Amino acid sequence: MKKYIIIALAVITAAACTKVESTIESGREISFSVANYVHTKAEGVLYEGGNFGTYAWYNGTEEAWVNEEVGLRNSAWTTLNNTYYWPKTGFYTFVSYSPFSGSNNTANSVPAVTLNGGVLNLDYGTYTVGADDLLYADAVSCSDNLDEVTDGVDSGYNGVPTLFRHALAKVRFEICAGFLEAGTAPDVTSWEISVVKAGPTGVFTQGSLSMDWSGSEWTKPEGNVWTSPALPADSEFAEASGLALTTGFQPLGDMGFVLPQVLADQTISLDLHIKTSLPNGKTIEEDLTVAPKLTDFSADLQSWQMNQSIVYRIIINPIDSGKTPILFDPAIGDWDEVSADLTVSI
């Protein structure tokens, strides 16, 4: 991004032979233009999160802001506790994250945001995933007059460009029955399938992430996954209990935000109840558990990566449609020859 520098200057003059007063105005108050990152900076979508935190360095080296809380005030995103104005010369380098954590003007946020040896760093430490959507913005260096037209191009921003990316992933599941009836009337078999219990197993919920700013982007870890995960955990989708399957996809469960991780032994465990209505009018009922590995869904989906929203679709077939119905293989066993001797004395 270009670094726009401008000095706000207003000069008031009167008629000749009168004194001339020159007034240098203070800089415009700093505000933010906020969006969630999609694919390119031009494609940001509306940021609907709450207050976020921002660090800033004057001319990219001198610490100026420490974990300042930014929120909406008079329909503009601006600092809530201290008011800041653009400097007359030089620029600020901003690093923002969401949601705001710690204390205003205290370097106790998650993530920790530091400048060491001229390198910006974001460090989430050891973090356990919860309900928060962890967002981090590209570092940006800019000054006043962000909407200045340079080389025929308008920057398009009226505040500090704050384009957030997701540090976590999102995962949800949908499920349906492939079919619930087979045969031709009156020789028809039908099934009722319900999910008694469902949930993922072996999912890592705790890990660590540290990234340096390369000058154009944050350097993500290999594979875009977090490192040093803790022991895996199992969970259950309460909303799945008693879910009756149809041939249309229904929500099975939403894991929400998840730790980006390599997939290996993680599964989706399903306790199913199946009621089979036979062509003769009788019924049988069965309970079974299936637990397919998540790596079996797609060869292209072997990890949950940062900034990914993943939907798994599960299709349950009551029978293997490629197999024939129950057949018989009759045979007659050999006679078992038995002899009996009796001696009769008279």
Q: Please say whether the dihedral angle defined by the alpha carbons of residues 97, 98, 101 and 103, taken in this order, is positive or negative.
A: positive
Contact 89, 34 (CB under 8 A): no
Q: How far apart are CA 177 and CA 155, in angstroms?
A: 51
* CA nearest neighbour of 196 among 249, 268, 271: 271
For the cut 90, the answer to whether the pLDDT of residue 206 exceeds it is yes
Phi, psi of 156 (to 5 degrees): 80, 5
The pair of structure tokens assigned to 78 is 């601006």
Helix/strand/coil for 185: coil
**Alpha helices of 65-192 — where are they, by DSSP H?**
none
* CA nearest neighbour of 72 among 167, 159, 168: 159
Question: Does residue 30 or residue 267 have the better pLDDT?
Answer: 267
User: Widest CA span of the chain, in angstroms?
Assistant: 168
Question: Which of 176-190, 204-218, 232-246, 310-324 is least confident?
Answer: 310-324
For the cut 90, the answer to whether the pLDDT of residue 39 exceeds it is no
The alpha carbon of 207 is separated from its chain's Cα centroid by a whole number of angstroms, namely: 15
CB atoms within 10 A of CB 54: 27
pLDDT average, residue stretch 162-171:
95
Contact 123, 212 (CB under 8 A): no
Q: Quick one: pLDDT at residue 254?
A: 96
Q: How far apart are CA 163 and CA 154, in angstroms?
A: 17
Q: How far apart are CA 37 and CA 45, in angstroms?
A: 7
Residue holding tokens 């008031």?
12
Helix/strand/coil for 337: coil
Q: How far apart are CA 150 and CA 228, in angstroms?
A: 45
Where does the pLDDT of residue 151 fall: very low under 50, low under 70, confident under 90, or very high at 90 and above?
very low
For the cut 70, the answer to whether the pLDDT of residue 20 exceeds it is no
* CA nearest neighbour of 236 among 253, 250, 249: 253
Percent of the chain with pLDDT over 70: 85
Question: Which of 141-150, 183-192, 334-343 is least confident?
Answer: 141-150
Q: Quick one: pLDDT at residue 27?
A: 61
Q: pLDDT tens across 57-85, in order?
A: 999 999 999 999 999 998 889 999 999 99
CB atoms within 10 A of CB 5: 16
Contact 194, 272 (CB under 8 A): yes
In the Cβ-directed half-sphere of 23, how many Cα atoms lie within 13 Å? 6
Q: How far apart are CA 250 and CA 240, in angstroms?
A: 10
Q: How far apart are CA 177 and CA 157, in angstroms?
A: 49
